[in-house]
Amino acid sequence: MAKQWGQKAEELEITNRISNMGMAKKDESNSSDSDEVADNANRADTSLLMKIIRQGLVESKLDIEIQRKDPNSPLHSVKSFEALHLKPNLLKGVYAMGFNAPSKIQETALPTLLADPPQNMIAQSQSGTGKTAAFVLAMLSRVDTNKNYPQVLCLSPTYELAIQTGEVAAKMAKYCPEIKLKYAVRGEEVAKGTAITDHIIIGTPGKMLDWGLKFRLFDVGKIKVFVLDEADVMIDRQGHQDQCIRIHKCLPSNCQMMFFSATYDSAVMDFAEIIVPNPIIIRLLREEESLDNIKQYYVKCKNVEEKYRAICNIYGVVTIGQAIIFCHTRKNASWLSEKMSKDGHSVAVLSGDLTVEQRIAVLDRFRAGLEKVLITTNVLSRGIDVEQVTLVVNFDMPMDMNRKADCETYLHRIGRTGRFGKAGIAINLIDSSHSMEICKTIEAHFGKKIQLLDIEDADEIEKIGA
């Protein structure tokens, strides 16, 4: 069954890629409009990108913060998967996936998720820290294969994220063919009047609502485990929050609730409190990006041509490993890419008109050093670590929807350099009084000097690379 599930995931992924390509072609007719507007990150796409890119776990030395609503709840951590007393074939599947020891979040989360009686949990940590593997392992462990009906529901906000979770489940259940899994996503149909006999259903809220409440293809009252993944993305999408709550209301009172999110703002927590009674709350404290080891400069330019000349002057003098250049719009990114390519620079472009698969291909090439310059929009303002990046250029200063300085985006952008304790350089190209105002606001916000750089003075440029 696990093999069939994996094949199904592959089929659905191929279908999805074809539909994505169709969407991209459809969007081409409107590209002249979309190229002019700010190209910002889509939360669901960013989350999917993180999950695919960070297939191995991120080593984290950050502390975990734990809050217990119920002081009687058992709480301990484990340093090995053997200590969890899993079914042998499930443990075999975990090791086959390349997990040698639990990640920081898994050390604390798994003993709680697998405890008897079942404990409810809210967990927050960034992508790549092992959240998905943790709740999938708990889902598979709770299944009673002697009962041929759905016992576990796992909700993801998008088709693509559901497929990713399903692929993790398929790999982990590789040696447990008796565990049956099913997707509740677009393109998957079940004949009306048919009872679903699979043990685990992974899907999106709308489809799950239709199957469980509208067509009654399974009994929601028999569900033992309810997982809500990517909660911050979920509440970002129209209607998903209401659909989740409607499903949740039909679950039995003894159903184990697991709630996972990469972020932890007030909207996420308000949602969590509706879904999860008496939870243990686990938070992996976020690593703060710092400007301490980044030299910041600004260059005065009259127009885009002068901005381009500034970039060329820097490249003519400073030895650069790899660079990321941030543009506000797809139009600027495209224009700059053409100019740099014509002048013999090895350039890659990453913007919102690419599918997730295409973005991954671009990033893989950049990581491998096949291109030295990555020109991108805000779709890549956070979360991607490339060790060789020594220079970040803000071709356009980061602005919010009100055209005010976006200090958080600035931090995430230039935080792409100066990673892993190395020194980095950030250069801001200023072509108007408005962009100068943004630069001054950012300088005041962080209390870090952004120095004027004379781009026509080779000696001055040489100093920044020293």
> Are 306 and 213 part of one and the same domain?
no
> Are 264 and 412 part of one and the same domain?
no
pLDDT of the residue at 20 = 41
Q: From the CA atom positions of the chain, what is the Rg in Å?
A: 24
Q: Is residue 66 part of a domain?
A: yes
Which amino acid, 229?
D
Q: Is residue 127 part of a domain?
A: yes
Q: Is residue 289 part of a domain?
A: no
Q: Is residue 268 part of a domain?
A: yes
> Are 277 and 302 part of one and the same domain?
no
Burial label, 115 (beta-carbon count in 10 A; 0-12, 13-18, 19+):
middle
> Are 260 and 384 part of one and the same domain?
no
With H, G, I as helix, E, B as strand and everything else as coil, classify residue 259: strand
> Are 230 and 330 part of one and the same domain?
no
Q: How far from the centroid of its chain's Cα atoms is residue 40's Cα?
A: 14
> Are 202 and 332 part of one and the same domain?
no
Q: Which of 234, 262, 284 is the last residue of a domain?
A: 284
> Are 316 and 279 part of one and the same domain?
no
Domains of the chain: total: 2
pLDDT of the residue at 320 = 77
> Are 171 and 248 part of one and the same domain?
yes
Q: How far from the centroid of its chain's Cα atoms is residue 434's Cα?
A: 32
Strands in 262-303 per DSSP E: 280-284, 294-300
Q: Is residue 65 part of a domain?
A: yes
Contact 200, 182 (CB under 8 A): yes
> Are 314 and 253 part of one and the same domain?
no
Q: Which of 262, 284, 306 is the last residue of a domain?
A: 284
Query: Of 34, 35, 103, 120, which Cα lies nearest the Cα of 69?
Result: 120
> Are 85 and 206 part of one and the same domain?
yes
Long-range contacts of 438-442, Cβ-Cβ distance < 8 Å, separation of 24 or more: 438/397, 438/398, 438/399, 438/404, 438/405, 439/298, 439/397, 441/404, 441/405, 441/407, 442/397, 442/405, 442/407, 442/410
Question: How many residues are there in the chain?
Answer: 466
Residue 405, beta-bridge partner list: 399
With H, G, I as helix, E, B as strand and everything else as coil, classify residue 11: helix
Q: Is residue 156 part of a domain?
A: yes
Q: Is residue 124 part of a domain?
A: yes
Q: Which of 217, 251, 284 is the last residue of a domain?
A: 284
Spans in the chain with pLDDT lower than 70: 1-42, 49-76, 126-129, 284-290, 379-387, 416, 418-422, 466
* C-alpha distances in Å from residue 77, one per residue of 106, 114, 170, 172: 8, 12, 26, 21
pLDDT of the residue at 36 = 63
Contact 185, 205 (CB under 8 A): no
Q: Look up tokens 């686990």; give the residue.
A: 282
Q: Is residue 255 part of a domain?
A: yes
d(Cα 130, Cα 388) in Å, to the nearest integer? 25
The pTM assigned to this predicted structure is: 0.66
Strand 152-155 with 294-300, pairing? unpaired
> Are 328 and 249 part of one and the same domain?
no
Task: Phi first, then psi: give them for residue 394, nearest 5 degrees.
Answer: -90, 90
- Show the domain range for 233: 2-284
With H, G, I as helix, E, B as strand and everything else as coil, classify residue 87: coil
Contacts (Cβ under 8 Å, ≥6 apart) of 160? 16, 44, 48, 356
d(Cα 428, Cα 450) in Å, to the nearest integer? 9
Contacts (Cβ under 8 Å, ≥6 apart) of 107? 77, 78, 79
Q: What is the CATH number of the domain that holds 167?
A: 3.40.50.300
d(Cα 128, Cα 125) in Å, to the nearest integer? 9
